[in-house]
Amino acid sequence: MRPLGSELGRFELGLPGRVMFGSGVSLEAGRIVRPLGRTVLLVTGANPSRCSKIRSSLESEGLTIASFEVRGEPTVDTIRAGSEALRRSGADCVVAVGGGSVLDTGKAIAALAGALRGVEDYLEVVGKGLPLDGTGCACVAIPTTAGTGAEVTRNAVLGVPSHRVKVSLRGPQVLPRVALVDPLLTVGLSREWTVATGMDALTQLIEPMVSVRANPVVDSWCREGLARIVRSLSTLCSGVEDADLRADMSYASLLGGLALANAGLGAVHGLAGPIGGYYPDAPHGAVCAALLPAVMRANLRALRVREPGHARLAGFTEVACILTGRVDAKAEDGVEWILRLCDELGVRGLRELGVLEDGFEALARQALKASSMKSNPVVLTHEELLEILAVTMR
């Protein structure tokens, strides 16, 4: 007889200390931050004026503010400079306001506060992969895009130009102390970034749901997030600006962050990391969008050939049912739905993003070592990864 509750398996959840979601919650930043420190390092993107109201909220609580600006996606050099800015300012708290790059920068700076070693020693793949030491300092993450879910994850993705790769700084210290998710901060986001971040959110809800580490809680988050993307993303990208649809996308992104933090990702992100390292001008969300249909097809084909009884095949079918709105949908119908969405949104192939065929071998080799590949529902071969890249060039 099967033990009671065995169909649920065994799982563990890592959750942020506090998440506040809703229109206008970012204006409470000062009240939230005040108990965490008196001097704040405010990490922003290239347009700091976007967070002027948040700065005013911090100032209204008598907090001293030092600033650090992030241009582009963070590298190890960015984190060194940010850590020096934290030290010089004497800040005891980091507030990061921006997209995934800004949030990852703020998280890394806070996590490394008081660390005994340089950032490279803690990096996976290209570094020593040592566990983070010290407790770091508090980080409050306030996203202004809806895609990465970085406000609730325990890793920060950093570029290492010398190795032409992106890797993660990972550990419990990287998880923000507080996430303030205010959908109003995403209103007016350009169509280009709505597409890129929205497709990243979609990917980060599909990959955890079919991951080898999936569990019932993660599955429930993914179902909810996918349903909201289905009803909102296309409409937003058609030119309709609607606060409720922006809230859908912010919530879906938040759920995707929680899902990936607890079930991992897969081959889309396993390939996207090396691509981002070799071609740093290629936006991460756009790369994920280009890869997603081909990776899903390759996973389905490999599972049916090598592991036809794999439990995650049912996950692919459920994804298809949610995306298409049909209870009789087959797994391949989900892939076709995503292909149609990509066409509708004008998703570019890898060639248009600057990727070159002569780099395929190196990209596939790097992808096989990526941490995201450990959660993929099936082990893909070097040859299968090369085929995915070729198909995705379009």
- 72 versus 305: the higher-pLDDT residue is 305
- 50 versus 224: the higher-pLDDT residue is 224
Res 378 pLDDT > 70: yes
Res 370 pLDDT > 50: yes
pTM: 0.95
- 279 versus 4: the higher-pLDDT residue is 279
Please report, for the chain, the start and end positions of each structural domain, with discontinuous segments joined by +.
Answer: 18-186, 191-393
Q: Which two tokens stand for residue 58?
A: 């911090």
Angle at 46 between CA 45 and CA 52, to 5 degrees: 70
How far is Cα 135 from Cα 187, in angstroms, rounded to an integer? 35
How far is Cα 93 from Cα 137, in angstroms, rounded to an integer? 6
End-to-end Cα spacing for the chain: 52
The pLDDT of residue 165 is: 85
How far is Cα 75 from Cα 106, in angstroms, rounded to an integer? 12
Q: 17-48: buried (b, 16+ CB within 10 Å) or exposed (e) per residue?
A: eebbeebebbbebbebbbebbeebbbbbbeeb
Mean pLDDT of 124-133: 87
Confidence class for position 4, pLDDT limits 50, 70, 90: very low
Non-local (6+) Cβ contacts of 134 within 8 A are 113, 114, 115, 116, 173
In the CATH scheme, what is the homologous superfamily, with its name and number, of domain 191-393? Answer: Dehydroquinate synthase-like - alpha domain (1.20.1090.10)
Per-residue pLDDT of 57-66, as tens digits, reads 999 999 999 9
Considering the four listed CATH numbers 3.40.50.300, 2.40.37.10, 3.40.50.740, 3.40.50.1970, the one that applies to the domain covering 18-186 is 3.40.50.1970
Give the rounded percent of residues in the chain with a pLDDT score beyond 70. 98
Instruction: Tell which residue, 120, 151, 160, 115, has the closest CA to residue 134.
Output: 115
How far is Cα 72 from Cα 99, in angstroms, rounded to an integer? 10
The pLDDT of residue 128 is: 86
Element (H, E) at 54: helix 52-60
